Amino acid sequence: MKKPLLMALLAVGMLMCNHTWAQSKTGTICFIRATGYVGSAVNFKVYIDDSLACKLKNKTYSLHSVAAGSHTVSAKGSGLSNGKKSAPFTIQVEEGKTTYVDVVWANDVSVQEITKNSADVKLKQTKQNTKCSTTE
């Protein structure tokens, strides 16, 4: 009588663990701010799915672990900006991979996905922001 009960509990435990592992598929979003002189004194706020992810100073980047799948990213300038977020941009984050997003200033703040090769060049010119402020 004890063996069937033990086997049933073990099977339920394994199913629960498998379900938990299946939900933990993540990828990384890397925001890069490698702008030049224009707008260099202004912090940019970057958003993932309308939630503030980080405040980036000039020549910095930040890494964010997210669930694999579709996400929207956007940004806005702080300080004397118009206070509006850039148009949301949809990216596809793959499990175990990094998606690179460039945050640029061209009359307004905007975001665009870039390739790993382009990101590698920009990452050499920047340093990682590991203390992202997520308060407005």
Topology of the domain comprising 25-128: Immunoglobulin-like (2.60.40)
Domain definitions of the chain by residue range:
25-128
Spatial separation of the C-alpha atoms in residues 81 and 84, rounded to whole Å: 8
List per-block mean pLDDT (blocks of 10 residues) for the chain, which spans 136 residues: 49 48 81 73 88 92 96 85 80 97 85 95 94 73
Sign of CA dihedral 113, 114, 116, 120: negative
pLDDT at 23: 57
The model carries a pTM of 0.77
Upper half-sphere CA count for residue 96 (Cβ side, 13 Å): 0
Q: How far apart are CA 49 and CA 58, in angstroms?
A: 23
**What is the spatial distance between Cα 7 and Cα 2, in angstroms, rounded to a whole number?**
9
pLDDT in tens, 9-29: 445 455 444 444 455 799 999
Predicted pLDDT at 35: 75
